[in-house]
């Protein structure tokens, strides 16, 4: 598990490289997602795994942090060294991101 605050810290640190994927449906992804996140679904998951650095931390984002737990386990089983489920999912991320951009 990874908190949204920790992910925000990782993303703001240019030394820390992390891969973020979003497993929500395409329409939800298009309406908003974490900057730099890739949309992954059944149609592109094999291509993603074959073309991604398995040694970089992988953060899986869903709606509320539930489905991403199983997906993180799946990617771990596929050879990713560090996989994380984003606690609270995109809904919590959106709330935190709003506070970061508001003075």
Residues labelled as active-site residues: 62
Report CA-CA distances (Å) from 31 to 62, 75, 94. Answer: 14, 25, 12
């Amino acid at each position: 598990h990874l908190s949204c605050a920790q992910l925000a810290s990782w993303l703001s640190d240019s030394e820390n490289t992390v891969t973020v994927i979003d497993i929500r449906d395409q329409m939800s992804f298009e309406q908003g997602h974490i900057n730099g996140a890739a949309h992954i679904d059944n149609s592109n998951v094999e291509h993603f795994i074959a073309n991604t650095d398995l040694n970089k931390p992988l953060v899986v984002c869903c709606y509320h942090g539930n489905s991403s737990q199983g997906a993180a386990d799946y990617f771990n089983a596929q050879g990713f060294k560090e996989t994380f489920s984003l606690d609270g999912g995109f809904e919590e991320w959106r709330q935190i991101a709003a506070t970061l951009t508001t003075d």
